[in-house]
Homo-oligomer: A and B are copies of this chain.
Amino acid sequence: MTMREALNLALDQALAHDERVFLLGEDIADPGASGPTKGLSTKYGTERVLDTPISESAIVGAAIGAAMEGFRPVAEIMIMDFIGIAADQIINNAAKLRFMTGGRTSAPITVRTQVYGGIGTGATHSQSLEAWFMHVPGLKVIVPSTPRDGKGLLTSAIFDDDPCIFVETIRLGPQRGMVPVDPGFSIPLGEADVKRPGSDVTLISYGRGVVEALGAATQLEADGVSAEVLDLRTLVPLDVAAMVESVGRTTRAVVVHDAVQFAGPGAEIAAILQRELFGRLSAPVERVGARFVPNPAPPALESQVYPSAQRIVAAVRRTLGLESAKTGAHG
């Protein structure tokens, strides 16, 4: 099934099996719904799949309040660029409640949001801001790359006792893959997954970057380079052990993500690897992230901004000493 169907199935089963679960957000109920919530209000009623006003701050705030009272709300922020509007509720209430109240309250919400990059909608409908939420203690940050992971991780997020930011990617929506339909299926948060084994270089990624990394790995294979693709799946908790194990073996790493490269998730990953594997790397950790520019609308320009298999291959070649490191920090 497609990623969109897999996410839909996770929501569907959560609603079916646990009455504490409800969904709220803009345009998530039928007949308007078109994303992963499609069909669910018809099945479970508009009390459990609730259209809201355009009020991102109150959507998340309301989810927090309900979560404090034992519900498992799944709030949708339609597009990740809008998450700034809800940022205060996320960072100052959801992330900190458990700590600030010494464990007497907590906000086990899931905030689902979607990255629109790469489909021509321009600068304010395209940002990947997961790095923001990695930086705020108390939140978990999840970005699936396959339908299977999407279903398994969303299920875990909904039933996790901590607030989760669950980042979906519109370009992955139609992507297909095998998905266990068993409602008991879930994937633990904090476990990276080797999407392709290899021995010469590790491509560390998450979300859509994994698809580009796999594409790059295929191209590299033709050149006799064996690339391992490690899918982090969650950025918090971050599976440092898996990264260190893989890169310790391959001695080369390229981090790939659709988020802006500068001060993005890859910076933390590179900082960890250079410390944990000091003296054991054959090349510096390379990063391939979005260029430092507001996203342009025209496809011909936009395609220059996000990681592509080609840019990843170039970065890998730099780590192999096959290309000058001066080809640019932006991969």
- Whole-angstrom CA separation of A127 from B100 in the bound complex: 14
Among A1-9, A192-200, A271-279, the stretch in contact with B: A271-279
B267 close to A263 (CB less than 8 A):
yes
Check: A260 CB closer than 8 A to any chain B CB: yes
Chain B residues near A36 (CB-CB < 8 A): none
Contact of A294 among B96, B131, B284 (CB under 8 A): B96
B137 close to A294 (CB less than 8 A):
yes
Chain B residues near A266 (CB-CB < 8 A): 271
B293 close to A263 (CB less than 8 A):
no
Contact of A264 among B57, B87, B135 (CB under 8 A): B135
Chain B residues near A137 (CB-CB < 8 A): 260, 262, 292-294
Chain B residues near A92 (CB-CB < 8 A): 81, 84, 123-124
A254 to chain B, nearest CB (A): 11
- Whole-angstrom CA separation of A90 from B84 in the bound complex: 9
Chain A residues 91-142 with CB under 8 Å of chain B are: 91-92, 95-96, 99-100, 122-124, 127, 129, 131-132, 134-138
- Whole-angstrom CA separation of A268 from B271 in the bound complex: 7
Check: A320 CB closer than 8 A to any chain B CB: no
B96 close to A124 (CB less than 8 A):
yes
Check: A147 CB closer than 8 A to any chain B CB: no
The 8 A CB mask of A57-98 against B (1 = contact, 0 = none) is 100000000000000000000000110110110111001100
Closest to A329 in B: B275
Check: A187 CB closer than 8 A to any chain B CB: no
- Whole-angstrom CA separation of A56 from B95 in the bound complex: 21
- Whole-angstrom CA separation of A85 from B278 in the bound complex: 40
Contacts A132-B132, A275-B325 aside, 20 further interface pairs with beta carbons under 8 A come to: A82-B88, A87-B87, A96-B123, A96-B294, A99-B294, A100-B123, A131-B263, A135-B259, A135-B260, A136-B260, A137-B260, A137-B262, A236-B262, A267-B267, A267-B268, A267-B270, A267-B271, A271-B271, A271-B274, A278-B281
Partner-B contacts on A (CB < 8 A): 57, 81-82, 84-85, 87-88, 90-92, 95-96, 99-100, 122-124, 127, 129, 131-132, 134-138, 236, 259-260, 262-268, 270-272, 274-275, 278, 281, 283-287, 292-294, 296, 325, 329
- List 14 A–B pairs whose Cβ atoms lie within 8 Å, in order of A's numbering: A57-B85, A84-B84, A84-B90, A87-B87, A131-B131, A131-B263, A132-B135, A134-B262, A236-B262, A270-B271, A272-B329, A274-B274, A275-B329, A278-B281
8 closest A-B pairs by CB: A84-B87, A270-B271, A274-B274, A84-B88, A267-B267, A278-B284, A134-B263, A275-B284
